[in-house]
Amino acid sequence: MEETKGEKKKPSVLNSAYDWLESIVSAIVICILLFLFVVRVVSVDGSSMNPTLYDGERVLITRIFSAPKQGDIVVFTQHSYGEDSLVKRVIATEGQTLDIDFDRGIVTVDGVRLDEPYIAELTHKKLDFTGPVTVKEGCIFCMGDNRNESTDSRSSRIGQIDTRCVLGKALFRIWPLSFLGGAKKNG
């Protein structure tokens, strides 16, 4: 039977199945490439980022970002501390001078008190920090939001973090679903 003008051939079941399979394979390849080169899922381990992020939550981080900025939540490794990745907030970047008044719990950067609505409580835990400290070139100074329960740049075991050790910047929380939302920058 010949096709007349205005009629279209109906796609066969085999062609439809092939189209679906092609779409599924393409989607899988795109997801793999995306997770290899652009984003990654990281699990929060411990209470050092409470109340912003909690133990067991998963955050999506991106490897494609400009240099870490003050207030960003980043994931990094620090081999002097261990092989696990750490999730902390950037408090100061290269060239900035940081000091902490542990009696009053106040953090200052370049002489200006930080407005920190995201922290669990004021900073009273000293670890072995002696300030003021000027952040070295190519480094950042990071602290957990749960300051008195966080081992971070105040400890000589972690210290200032070379930006080459930063795995990515947190974009948003993806698990648990009830908490789906942004990784808060300022609260």
Q: Does residue 17 form part of some domain? A: no
What is the model's pLDDT at position 48? Answer: 92
Question: Out of 48, 85, 150, 153, which one is annotated catalytic?
Answer: 48
The answer to whether 97 and 136 have CB atoms below 8 angstroms apart is: no
Residue 120 falls inside a structural domain: yes
Q: What is the pLDDT of residue 10?
A: 64
Q: Give a yes or no: residue 15 inside a domain.
A: no
pLDDT tens-digit map of 65-108: 778 999 999 989 887 777 788 999 999 999 999 999 999 999 99
Average pLDDT over every residue of 164-168? 88
pLDDT of residue 16: 81
Tell me what pLDDT residue 155 has: 93
43 is annotated as an active-site residue? no
Between the two ends of the chain, the Cα-to-Cα distance in Å is 69
pLDDT digits (tens, 9 = 90+) for 15-56: 888 888 888 888 888 777 776 666 778 778 888 999 999 898
Confidence band, pLDDT 50/70/90 cuts, at residue 146? very high
Cα–Cα dist 118/53, whole Å: 10
**Rounded CA gap, 122 and 146, in Å?**
9
Does residue 90 lie in a domain region? yes
Residue among 52, 71, 53, 75 at smallest CA distance from 62: 75
Q: Using CA atoms, how far apart are residues 144 and 57, in angstroms rounded to an integer? A: 15
Question: Is pLDDT above 70 for 14?
Answer: yes
Q: Which domain holds residue 51?
A: 41-175
Rg value, the chain, Cα: 23
CATH number at residue 156: 2.10.109.10
Residue 10 lies in a domain: no
Residue 60 lies in a domain: yes
User: Of the candidates 182, 179, 175, 165, which has an alpha carbon nearest to the alpha carbon of residue 74?
Assistant: 165
List 85, 88, 150, 184, catalytic entry: 88
Q: Which residue has the higher pLDDT, 63 or 122?
A: 122
pLDDT at 186 over 50: no
In this predicted model, what pLDDT tens digit does every residue of 16-26 receive, in sequence order?
Answer: 888 888 888 88
- Identify whether 66 is part of a domain: yes
Count of domains for the chain: 1
| Within-domain flag for 112 | yes
Give yes or no: 88 in active site: yes
